[in-house]
Amino acid sequence: MSRKIKEAKKYLRNGKFTDAVDKFNEAGHELYDAGESDQAIEVLEEGAKIAREYKVLLEGSLCERKLSEIHAALGNRESSLQHLTAFRNLATQSGCRSQEQISHHVYAWCLQQLYTNGVAGKGDIERAIEMTKKSRELVGTYKKLFKPGDPGGPHHIRLAQLFTLEAQLENQLGNNEKALHLLDKTDRLLRPNDKSTRFEMLRTKCSIVPVSRRVDIAELMDDDAPEDKKAQILCELSHQYILANRLEKGYKSLAQAYIFHEKQLSPTEKEDTTKRLCIIYRLVKYSRILKNTKLEPKLSMCELHEAVGDLYDQYFRTLMDKEKKEYRQYIRDNILRNYEKMLECKRNDEDELRAFLGMALVYEDLDEHAKSKNMFEKRLDLLKKTGAAAEKILDTKVSIFGCMCKLKSFGLEKVFDDLSKEVEEFDITKRELYDTWANYLLDNGDDEKSQKWRKAADEIPDTLIKDEDDETDILYGRLPDEEILERCREENELLKLDNLTEHQKHKTNDKGETILHQAAQKSDNEGVVEKLCRMGCKVDARDFGGWTPLSEAVAHDHLENVRVLIRYGADVNARSAESFISEESQSSSDDLNHSKLTPLMEACTNGFIDIAMLLIDNKARVDLKDSAGWTAYQHLRRYVNENGGNERMMKFCEYLKNRTSQCTDIPALTIRTTNRHEEAHSDDSPPDEIEDNIILGMAASRKRRNSNNSDNFSNSSKRVQRRSGENTRPSPQPPVPSRPFKKRSTQPSMPSYCQPKRLDHRNSSSSLNSIPRGSNSPRRSISPTATIRSAPSVYADDDDVQVVRMRKVNAIKTSPSVQRLIPSPRAQIDPKSTDMIVKCFFQLPPGNASDEIRPVKLPMRRSLSIAEVKKAVMSSVPIVSLFKIKSVFNKEDEDKCSIDELTLSQVVHKPDQREIGLVFELRAPPAHEVYEEISKIVLVVVVI
């Protein structure tokens, strides 16, 4: 029971009969609009009954009016006339002059509907015309009483509607001249804002004017369309386009009506629109293939023309009888022409048989029965020649007999008798023969014999058999209408974008979102997103929260939308102004305000790792932090902690942690040991030692495999710096699984000055259980070498150098106070004699042992290219196998250094920059050979 019915019954119990009848009327309208005609009638009859019982005249007349309209639309003549009489009586008794005038108008309209449904004659149409005239007289009489706010509108609208209705009635009587004259009167009465009434006038005019003018009238309707009539106007415009052989435009208009204005269609209109749209969709597809056969090379031209002809024929059968007579040229231009082309492109006898059948039926629709008979006879001859089944031969003979009846040929009785004997065993063919003969007798005035054979035909079971000859829609024929409509919806989602103005492209809603923001939020919408980008919508437009379309696509997990936006230049590092979670809904466990968020952070906070990987591949920065100091990795880690993660997500989490550590975990220069032994030798450090340590620290921090237990998401770190001289040992911890890797037998250690953060050795795949007691300052300790390699990552785009293991090697077994010190060769460089200082850092591949190799500064001219620098160093030091260049001053220089053609002056970030760093990977010679070669390089390069 609907809400309005409940309210009506409540009013009824409280004795508020007027309100109760009014609610019953509203409920009846809602049910009818929803397609529930029977329930609507029950509710309205209950309201009318209460109105009669309690003398609620005006509200009761409204119920009677709707009942008369529903029955007229359903073709229930007696019921409709009965309620029309009650409506007129209650309207007159109520004393409402507006309702009295409307009752005559509705009476005429209902008679017209009954005529359309075939339950009224021309006498009823003439009576309806008299009712329109009577209603116009009442408008003139009570003109001053009709106000713009009344249900029927002001007097000029009432007159215009009556002239339009009378024009329709005259057209049904065949008086087209009089009908057009009445429509001209309507046009003169209307004002610019009377769009709804003008639509009805133009719609009527479109069905009356000559066929050649109808498209122009339909386009005028579309230009002046009121928003609530948009669906009907587009349907009419589509219909006229198709009948005028403008198929693509017709398809586009009908698709717009169905997709964007479906709610405006009544159940009957929706059914008709759906049927036509399914036909036109298939028709458009085949027509496009005909223009470009490469789209479907396996289809023959014969098949294509047959499918197009059949689909045009299906559409023709949706026309009203009046239209079928008016659009004879449509049949010739579309249906007949394609069957003729089919005959020209025939491949075998079966193609020819179907072509003859199609052409015969078309000529029959055109009432050209002689041509139809000729085609049936050709088909009959070919059937006999190919040895076809007896039933097919007899069916064709009956069709020829039908043509002879239309042509009123001689000797029909004898032909009928002969055929009656032949079809005795075939019920379907026999029924068709009897029907044909009964129609012929009726046309010739022999009613008695006609009824006899009609009765004989009705006694034969009517079995529906699928005609195999009609199965020609080979691409789309087996698809259900639901799938066709879904394809149509997907294909035409872009239609509404065609007429976007510049203002609409950049117009924002109450959230500041543009149309591109809204498109990015929808799934399977990459086509719309791409079209909007191509049309010039701003890909980095920001709403009131600072979110971009890319942010919306990421937040809604639409990978393809993200891909399109990136392709059109969306900023992958754009920051928001708002937080993920509002202050009101924010979890109590997270008191941080996470604003200044990037798309990568959004992806990570939701666990969308595919999107996160795509963003990283397109230069999304992993080192950026939000307003709470969190990186994308920390957002992902929180997601994993709260929701868990599969193996793939855990690998990505490890990967993102390593990438983040490369960019963010650079050691502070102030980290120094307070050990007295270190202080004693601190003065021995050369002035440029600090920058050397930064570079080594950057290399050592790359791709470090840290423990998950050391992860945290606050700004305060739980990591502890190990100071040289501290006699400490980590407390035992349970083993934590780490990424499988080949174990090392030695114990890695690393000097504090090149440690970006403490390694949690408990998670290392090596056996790292303790730190040696009595370790002294790294400046005086046995120097470790960073064992570095280009390690393969689980992600294909990972080509960075990765720290695999830190080793103590070649240690001299002496007491802790005795240390082996390897001098670092240094070139004496005159800054005035060089343009650029190139720092060379040398590292060993995994599995090799050597002492630490300190950076070497080499003078180079700024005009040297990267390729020349590489050649000079590698030719002078044959043991150098690979190299990677990193800028000391700016990370952006790293990308430039991969381009051999660039010169040193082009690579540096700042014009006055004097130094740049190169990292070389070495083979594994003994340490003394390395130092000997490095000592020579200074002299070689200076000569360049």
pLDDT tens, residue by residue, 400-409: 999 999 999 9
CA distance 116 to 72: 10
Going by the DSSP 8-state scheme, the letter that residue 860 receives in this structure is E
Amino acid 430: pLDDT: 87
pLDDT of res. 897:
54
Work out the average pLDDT over 918-931. Answer: 58
CA dist 141 and 158 (Å) reads 13
| pLDDT tens by residue, 30-88 | 999 888 999 999 999 999 999 999 999 999 999 999 999 999 999 999 999 999 999 99
pLDDT at residue 797 is higher than 80: no
839 with 915: CB under 8 angstroms? yes
DSSP 3-state percent helix, strand, coil across the chain (nearest 5): 60, 5, 40
Percent of the chain scoring above 90 in pLDDT: 43
Instruction: Dihedral sign for Cα 273, 279, 285, 287, please.
Output: negative
Neighbours of 597 (CB within 10 A): 29
Q: Where are the alpha helices (DSSP H) in 423-568?
A: 427-443, 447-458, 481-491, 502-506, 515-520, 526-534, 549-555, 559-567
Three-class SS state of 802: strand
Residue 388 neighbours by CB under 8 Å, 6+ apart: none
- Alpha-carbon distance of 466 to 461, in angstroms, equals 16
Burial 520-548 (b: 16+ CB within 10 A, else e): bbbeebbbbbbbbbeeebebebbbeebbb
Residue with more model confidence, 883 or 283: 283
Position of tokens 């270190």? Answer: 678
Q: Provide DSSP, 545-564.
A: TS--HHHHHHHTT-HHHHHH
- Degrees to nearest 5, angle at CA 376 with 374 and 377: 65
pLDDT at residue 110 above 60?
yes
Average pLDDT over residues 719-748: 32
Interatomic CA distance for residues 422 and 271, integer angstroms: 42
From residue 727, how far is each of 77, 374, 678, 696, 774 by CA, in Å?
A: 107, 112, 15, 25, 6
Residue 519 to residue 568: CA distance in whole angstroms: 15
Distances (CA, A) of 304 to 98, 252, 331, 663: 59, 22, 18, 62
pLDDT at residue 744, rounded to an integer: 28
Q: Determine contact, residues 115/129, Cβ cutoff 8 Å.
A: no
Q: Sheet containing 856-860: give its strands across.
A: 856-860, 836-843, 915-922, 880-886
Rounded to 5 degrees, φ, ψ at 886 are -130, 140
Q: How far apart are CA 286 and CA 304, in angstroms?
A: 7
pLDDT digit string, tens, across residues 478-537 = 788 888 888 888 777 676 677 677 888 888 888 899 999 998 998 878 888 988 998 889
The string of pLDDT tens digits covering residues 371-424 is 999 999 999 999 999 999 998 999 999 999 999 999 999 889 999 999 998 888
pLDDT score recorded for residue 594: 79
Whether 814 shows a pLDDT value over 70: the answer reads no
| Residue 680 host element (H or E) | helix 676-681
Reply yes or no on whether the pLDDT at 795 is more than 70: no
| CB contact at 8 A, 909 and 828 | no
Each residue's pLDDT tens digit, 659-683: 888 775 433 323 233 333 333 333 3
Render pLDDT for 318-333 as a digit per residue (tens, 0 to 9). 998 888 889 989 999 9
Give the long-range contacts of residues 647-656, CB within 8 A, separation 24 or more: 648/609, 649/607, 649/609, 651/739, 651/794, 652/609, 652/612, 652/613, 652/794, 652/795, 654/705, 654/739, 655/793, 655/794, 655/795, 655/798, 656/604, 656/612, 656/616, 656/622, 656/632
Q: Which of 146-150, 442-446, 569-573, 769-773 has the highest mean pLDDT?
A: 569-573
Average pLDDT, integer, range 618-626: 91
Length of the chain: 944
Of the pLDDT bands very low, low, confident and very high (cuts 50, 70, 90), residue 749 is very low
Q: Which residues of 662-671 are buried (b: 16+ CB within 10 A; e: fewer)?
A: bbbbebeeee
Find all residues with CB under 8 Å of 656, minimum gap 6, and list them. 604, 612, 616, 622, 632, 633, 636
Q: How far apart are CA 689 and CA 839, in angstroms?
A: 12
Q: Mean pLDDT across the stretch 206-219?
A: 92
What pLDDT is recorded for position 378?
A: 95
Q: What is the CA radius of gyration of the chain?
A: 44
The pLDDT value given to residue 171: 93
Query: What value does the mean pLDDT take over residues 233-242?
Result: 93
Who's near 833: CB < 8 A, 6+ residues apart?
859
Strand, coil or helix: what is 723?
coil
**Between 256 and 872, where is the model more confident?**
256
Please say whether the beta carbons of 535 and 505 come within 8 A.
Answer: yes
Long-range (24+ apart) CB contacts under 8 A made by 159-162 are 159/189, 160/186, 160/189, 160/190, 160/194, 160/197, 160/201, 161/105, 161/197, 161/200, 162/105, 162/132, 162/135, 162/136
- What is the DSSP code (8-state) at residue 584? T
Q: How far apart are CA 940 and CA 944, in angstroms?
A: 7
Section 888-908 average pLDDT = 58
Distance from chain centroid for Cα 31 = 33
Give me the helix-helix angle, 647-664 and 609-617, nearest 10°.
Answer: 40
Closest CA to 213 of 186, 182, 176: 176
Across the chain, mean pLDDT equals 76
Minimum mean pLDDT among 565-579, 588-602, 813-827: which range? Answer: 813-827
Helices 301-316/337-344 angle, 10° precision: 160
Beta partners for 903? 865
Of 20-29, 638-647, 812-821, which range is least confident?
812-821
Higher pLDDT, 5 or 813: 5
The C-alpha atoms of residue 337 and residue 2 are separated, in whole angstroms, by 54
For 111-125, 754-768, 916-930, which range has the lowest pLDDT when averaged over its residues? 754-768
CA nearest to 136, candidates 105, 164, 180: 105
Closest CA to 3 of 30, 38, 21: 30
